[in-house]
Structure 1
């Protein structure tokens, strides 16, 4: 078994356990622990508990690996492998009782920098929806026994997804971007979970996705799903405070990239 497959299988096992914990805590009732960038950007006790579980399980099996999580301090490690984790992606959905939340776990080779790492494995597990999406470098993207493939034909226009930042000062710019992409769109979706949107692109449920301001843990696993399903993922303005991520099948990606890379 290749390293990528070993890491995928470990990530899948851990994501299932972490997802069950998150789902159980949701049934018991959500307790807000803190806010982050704004009052709307929340952290629950479950976020922290789930991340601690994931980190502990990885350390038991691969103690030399690095770790980059949303809710705890980064650890460089010595093995050259880093785990990039969002314990509950879609926390606002989670807090409100909406099922579009997930556990996102990726394993990458290299530094915890998306511009230089090599993604080896990724898992997006949505426990409330009963779905798990997995990918290993060179071995495709899967949902159970079904191999995933991005859409290649959008005669009625592309079904796109996006997200908005929590900072109200960014909303006008995000809405202006929506106006720019709508001429190529069949319609637009806004789920509140970047990792799940990327998994849906990989599964052909969405034709494309774009969003500004994502953190590495938001897209590490989902981006590999898209790529292993035959799609493309790219980032624009990577040196800015809010880089743009674009994902989709080749034709949709090219059209989005052309629109979003235009200077305004």
Structure 2
């Protein structure tokens, strides 16, 4: 039986993600511009990132004033309830800036340091993904109703479709390109969508066999990692480690292990 608290957290996350997604989809200015930069001049923040995070944190704080926050655009606080919300109000900001459809709102709830509920809203696909720890992964979209998610049966690695992402720091992305070049001959192909949250959901939905990336932050992966795991995928980082800033991997069982070995051999974390 699902913990009633986890169900409550999921319902709040779904409402917040839905409202933020609608704001971002319907409120995008025609003259949208960069409001700030982060790790480099091409790692951007728009006014809509900031507005979406404010909407999310205000809604959650109204419902659960004792909870903590960790948000990409600055929301931070420990709270006193043991629950912390990990928020990426707009994952795929560069896609959004250019009018590309692959972007998402990602909201996860942690209890005592463990992710217990997660939602990824993908407005331009008309899709929403969610999971509660131990309750499976689910999606709503153009299909009727809500459907359970399951990752794909594992193909041989040379027939696996794998996605990745690139950092906005030039030295790091150059190294990432070198790793991708070594992987390409060993896989069916590599995709680069531009949103970690969407890629993790695509693993969960069976649209990808695997995904890896260096340089993710907790808000990039918290919700999507739970959704992928609840759909049957394996997730991790370097051997024996959890997903982290050094390396995040999510893949169907049978692809995860050989992909992780290759990434370790290629020092993808470096």
Q: Same fold (TM over 0.5)?
A: yes
Specify the SS of the correspondent of 1:250: coil
1:204 deviation in Å? Answer: 0.4
Match among 199, 202, 205 for residue 200 of structure 1: 202
1:225 deviation in Å? Answer: 0.5
Match of 2:143 in 1: none
Structure-1 separation of matches of 2:100 and 2:149: 25
Match of 1:153 in 2: 154
Match of 1:78 in 2: 80
Match among 222, 229, 232 for residue 230 of structure 1: 232
Match of 1:251 in 2: 254
Specify the SS of the correspondent of 1:7: helix
Paired residues, what number? Answer: 257
Given that 2:57 and 2:75 are in contact with CA atoms closer than 8 Å, whether structure 1 keeps it comes out as: no
Match of 1:135 in 2: 131
Comparing 73-82 with 53-62, which one deviates more in the overlay? 73-82
Alignment of 1:163-242 (within 5 A): 163-236=165-238, 242=245
1:177 deviation in Å? Answer: 1.3
Structure-2 separation of matches of 1:29 and 1:127: 20
1:4 equivalent in alignment to 2:22: no
Structure-2 separation of matches of 1:99 and 1:169: 27
Structure-2 separation of matches of 1:72 and 1:171: 25
Structure-1 separation of matches of 2:89 and 2:73: 8
Specify the SS of the correspondent of 1:53: helix
The Cα RMSD (Å) is: 1.8
Structure-1 separation of matches of 2:20 and 2:262: 38
* 1:18-68 C-alpha deviation (Å, 9 max, x unpaired): 100011222544232111111110000000010001000000111111100
Structure-2 separation of matches of 1:29 and 1:205: 33
CA separation of 1:205 and 1:160: change in aligned 2, threshold 3 A: same
* 1:64-92 C-alpha deviation (Å, 9 max, x unpaired): 11100000141011111110000000000
Query: Normalised by the size of structure 2, how large is the TM-score?
Result: 0.90
Comparing 165-174 with 225-234, which one deviates more in the overlay? 165-174
Structure-2 separation of matches of 1:219 and 1:149: 18
Query: Normalised by the size of structure 1, how large is the TM-score?
Result: 0.92
Alignment of 1:82-97 (within 5 A): 82-97=84-99
Structure 2 residue runs without a partner (length 5+): 141-145
Structure 1 residue runs without a partner (length 5+): 111-116
1:218 deviation in Å? Answer: 0.4
Structure-2 separation of matches of 1:5 and 1:23: 27
* 1:95-132 C-alpha deviation (Å, 9 max, x unpaired): 0000101100000123xxxxxx3110111101111111
